Structure 1
Amino acid sequence: MKLSLRSHLAKTGICGKCPPMWKFIAFASLLASAAPFSRPAVAASSPWAAGTGVKVRLVTSGGPDAEGRVKGALSIELAPGWKTYWRDPGDAGVPPRIDFSDSRNVSSVDVAYPAPHRFSDEGGIWAGYKKPVRFGLTLKATDPSKPMELDAKVFIGVCQSICVPFQAQLAVDPGKDADDLTDAATVAETFAALPAAPREDFNAIEAKKTPAALSVSATLPKPNAAAELFVAAPEGYSFGPPKRIGSESGKVAFSVPVLAGDIAAGAPRIPYTLVLQGGQAVAGDL
Structure 2
Amino acid sequence: MKFTLPIALCLGTAILAAGSAHASSSAWFETDGGRFRLVTTGQPDASGKLQGVLDIELKPGWKTYWRDPGNSGVPPQIDLSASRNVSAAEISYPAPQRHDDGYAKWAGYDFPVRLPVGFAVPAPGEPAAIVADVFLGICETICVPVQARLEVDPAADPGNANDAALVAAALGALPSAAEPDFGATLAPAEGETMSITAAAPGDPEGIDIFVAGVDGYQFGTPQRHEAAGKISFLLKVLERPTAKPAGKGIPYTLISSAGAVEGFLPYP
C-alpha distance 32-119 of structure 1, shift in aligned 2 (>3 A): closer
Match of 1:254 in 2: 233
Structure 1 residue 223: Cα displacement: 8.2
Match of 1:237 in 2: 217
Separation (CA, whole Å) in 1 of partners of 2:14 and 2:262: 37
User: What is the identity, as a one-letter code, of the residue corresponding to 2:244?
Assistant: G
Match of 1:170 in 2: 150
Match of 1:119 in 2: 99
| Contact in 1 for aligned 2:116/2:167 (Cα 8 Å) | yes
User: What is the identity, as a one-letter code, of the residue corresponding to 2:196?
Assistant: V
Match of 1:217 in 2: 197
Match of 1:283 in 2: 262
C-alpha distance 38-121 of structure 1, shift in aligned 2 (>3 A): closer
Separation (CA, whole Å) in 2 of partners of 1:110 and 1:33: 23
Structure 1 residue 95: Cα displacement: 1.5
| TM-score between the two structures when normalised by the length of structure 2 | 0.88
User: What is the identity, as a one-letter code, of the residue corresponding to 2:184?
Assistant: A
| Aligned partner of 1:35 among 2, 11, 16 | 16
Superimposed CA distance per residue, residues 43-92 of structure 1 (whole angstroms, 9 cap, x where no aligned partner): 31011001111210000012111222111100000011111111101123
Structure 2, unmatched stretches of 5+, are none
| Contact in 1 for aligned 2:29/2:35 (Cα 8 Å) | yes
Stretch of structure 1 that moved more, 94-103 or 164-173: 94-103
| Contact in 1 for aligned 2:13/2:146 (Cα 8 Å) | no
Structure 1, unmatched stretches of 5+, are 13-26
C-alpha distance 177-91 of structure 1, shift in aligned 2 (>3 A): same
Stretch of structure 1 that moved more, 64-73 or 206-215: 206-215
Number of residue pairs aligned between Structure 1 and Structure 2:
263
Match of 2:166 in 1: 186
SS of equivalent residue, structure 1 residue 182: helix
| TM-score between the two structures when normalised by the length of structure 1 | 0.83
Stretch of structure 1 that moved more, 126-135 or 217-226: 217-226
SS of equivalent residue, structure 1 residue 144: coil
C-alpha distance 262-156 of structure 1, shift in aligned 2 (>3 A): same
User: What is the identity, as a one-letter code, of the residue corresponding to 1:266?
Assistant: K
Identical columns (%): 44
User: What is the identity, as a one-letter code, of the residue corresponding to 1:255?
Assistant: L
